[in-house]
Amino acid sequence: MPALSIRNLVFAYAHRDADNPFSLRIPTLTLDQGEQLLLSAGSGSGKSTLLNLIAGLMDPQQGSIEVAGQNVHALTGASRDLFRGRNLGVVFQTFHLLQGFSAIENVMAAMLMADKPASEMQPRAAELLSKLGITKINALVDELSVGQQQRVAVARALACKPALVLADEPTASLDPTNAAAAMDLLQGLCKEQNAALLCVSHDPTMASRFTKRITMEELIAASAGGTGFQPVREGAHP
């Protein structure tokens, strides 16, 4: 069962300026369990729209998006929220941590939203944070360094052992050293948990980390030409 399966996806913004229309069309995109794919995309390319569609935060006009075999858009309300919490992890560009809460509380919050048993939350959160090198698990996140905050964000994304992790410009707020360390941890933890990883970034240094890559331009061009969509390019690291 693929971690992510997109078929005949069509999305267009309603009431968009007629002189500047935007639509997103993806005939097919599949990401198997444990696979890691880099989607290179710049501002205004539609990458945020695509991630929101996959996460079920927006609905397409046509097509289907399945995560772990479940059509996300066939679910509504609380059922969709619960499914998202249990099966999708997200690492944001600006982290979106809960200020005024500790590192461990931020990770436990993700498990609470997924309705995990209370007895599992603290041990699981503490284990992940320790594995990611966060020793002061009770420190407020605003007291942590930027690099440490990113590690907390990674722990939160993997806390519920999701089938799919979405990483939106995960290193944009980090210096090169911390960026490399954060990606090592994110990719390593996804591999360990057999979670698929879809990483969206315009950072050219990311390419060497992924043997499977596609650009948003290639995706759109394949759709426009009606030639079918080859989602990845296989090969060794450059």
Q: Is residue 24 part of a domain?
A: no
Q: Is residue 230 part of a domain?
A: no
Distance CA 134, CA 113 (A): 22
Query: pLDDT tens, 130-171?
Result: 999 999 999 999 999 999 999 999 999 999 999 999 999 998
Question: What pLDDT was estimated at residue 197?
Answer: 98
Query: pLDDT tens, 78-124?
Result: 999 999 999 999 998 888 999 999 999 999 999 999 999 999 999 99
Q: Is residue 72 part of a domain?
A: no
Query: pLDDT tens, 18-55?
Result: 566 678 888 888 999 999 999 997 777 788 889 999 99
Per the CB < 8 A criterion, the answer to whether 41 and 216 are in contact is yes
Helix, strand, coil fractions of the chain, as percent rounded to 5:
40, 20, 40
Q: Which domain holds residue 138?
A: 35-60+78-221
Domains contained in the chain, number: 1
Per the CB < 8 A criterion, the answer to whether 149 and 141 are in contact is yes
User: What CATH number does the domain containing 143 carry?
Assistant: 3.40.50.300
- Mean pLDDT over the full length of the chain: 88
Q: Is residue 227 part of a domain?
A: no
**CA angle, 86 as apex, 209 and 139 as ends, to 5°?**
75
Distance CA 199, CA 209 (A): 11
Q: Is residue 164 part of a domain?
A: yes
Q: Is residue 173 part of a domain?
A: yes
Question: What pLDDT was estimated at residue 223?
Answer: 54
Q: Is residue 137 part of a domain?
A: yes
> Above pLDDT 70, what percent of the chain?
89
Q: Is residue 226 part of a domain?
A: no
Query: pLDDT tens, 212-230?
Result: 999 888 876 655 544 444 4
Query: pLDDT tens, 179-202?
Result: 899 999 999 999 999 999 999 998
- pLDDT exceeds cutoff 90 at 9: yes
